[in-house]
């Protein structure tokens, strides 16, 4: 059993493929934000009271983190060991292997897994893209004046990033239920 522990922990490390893909999506967002910023209007919009929702964003992010920690604690108590990290799981080697296997098996009934997974994967890629777009695009005062976290740049950035991070993990949770196991003999882990 000790021989399996190192390989299990390796499978839960961040995938070498995930990092460049997520970085490319983030950088494409930064470029899009730069273009949007360069096309900004010189006329400043007025702040509308009640458009700030930063409190609810922070509360939702904390609630989501509490749920993830509670699920991990429950799994640890159930199995007697911590298991894979819920924070890196969406970007792990195991997740990439599951996606790859699902794509290879996309015939007949297995295609039913890939059909709903495809838009979720696109949404997962949109999260770092949107975060990147906010970095420079958010420098436009009109972009943040009535934003969820506005009227400040930092507040708007925080609100958008919290939304994207929470959304990313919700999408990853759904993908975890849809994708085929990484290997033919693997059993699906239940929360």
Which pair of tokens denotes residue 164? 């994207």
**CA 168 – CA 64 distance, rounded (Å):** 11
Residue 51 lies in a domain: no
Burial class (CB in 10 A: 0-12, 13-18, 19+), 2: exposed
In a domain, 179, yes or no: yes
Phi, psi for 46 (deg, rounded to 5): -90, 145
Residue 135 has a pLDDT of: 94
Instruction: Supply the pLDDT for residue 85.
Output: 64
Residue 82 lies in a domain: yes
CB-count exposure of residue 141 (10 Å: 0-12, 13-18, 19+): middle
Tell me if 20 is assigned to some domain. Answer: no
**Which residue range(s) make up the domain with 117?**
56-183
- Residue 46 belongs to a domain: no
Expressed in percent and rounded to 5, the helix, strand and coil fractions of the chain are 70, 0, 30
Confidence of residue 189 (pLDDT cuts 50, 70, 90): very low
Structural domain includes residue 189: no
Q: Which residues, 6+ apart, have CB-to-CB distance to 47 below 8 Å? A: 145, 146, 150, 151
Q: Is residue 177 part of a domain?
A: yes
- Cα separation, 172 vs 47, in Å, equals 35
Instruction: Report the number of distinct structural domains present in the chain.
Output: 1
In sequence order, the β-bridge partners of residue 14 are 92
Q: pLDDT tens digit string along 73-96?
A: 887 777 776 666 666 667 778 777
Cα(98)–Cα(17) distance, integer angstroms: 13
Element (H, E) at 131: helix 111-137
Residue 50 belongs to some domain of the structure: no
Q: What pLDDT, in 10s, does the model give residues 154-178?
A: 888 888 888 888 888 888 888 877 7
| CA-based end-to-end distance of the chain | 22
Mean pLDDT check: name the lowest of 31-35, 134-138, 141-145.
141-145
Q: Tell me the whole-structure pTM to 2 decimals.
A: 0.74
């Amino acid at each position: 059993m000790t021989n399996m522990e190192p390989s299990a922990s390796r499978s839960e490390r961040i995938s070498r493929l995930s990092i460049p893909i997520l970085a490319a999506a983030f950088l494409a967002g930064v470029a899009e934000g730069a273009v949007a910023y360069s096309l900004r209007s010189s006329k400043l919009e007025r702040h509308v009271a009640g458009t700030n929702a930063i409190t609810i964003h922070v509360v939702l992010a904390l609630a989501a983190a509490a749920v993830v920690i509670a699920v991990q604690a429950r799994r640890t108590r159930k199995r007697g060991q911590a298991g894979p990290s819920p924070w890196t799981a969406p970007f792990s080697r195991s997740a990439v292997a599951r996606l790859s296997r699902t794509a290879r098996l996309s015939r007949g009934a297995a295609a039913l897994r890939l059909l709903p997974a495809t838009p979720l994967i696109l949404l997962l890629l949109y999260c770092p893209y949107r975060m990147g777009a906010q970095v420079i695009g958010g420098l436009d005062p009109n972009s943040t004046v009535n934003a969820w976290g506005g009227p400040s740049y930092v507040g708007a950035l925080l609100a958008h990033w919290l939304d994207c991070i929470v959304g990313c993990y919700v999408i990853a949770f759904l993908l975890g239920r849809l994708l085929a196991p990484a290997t033919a003999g693997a059993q699906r882990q239940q929360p």
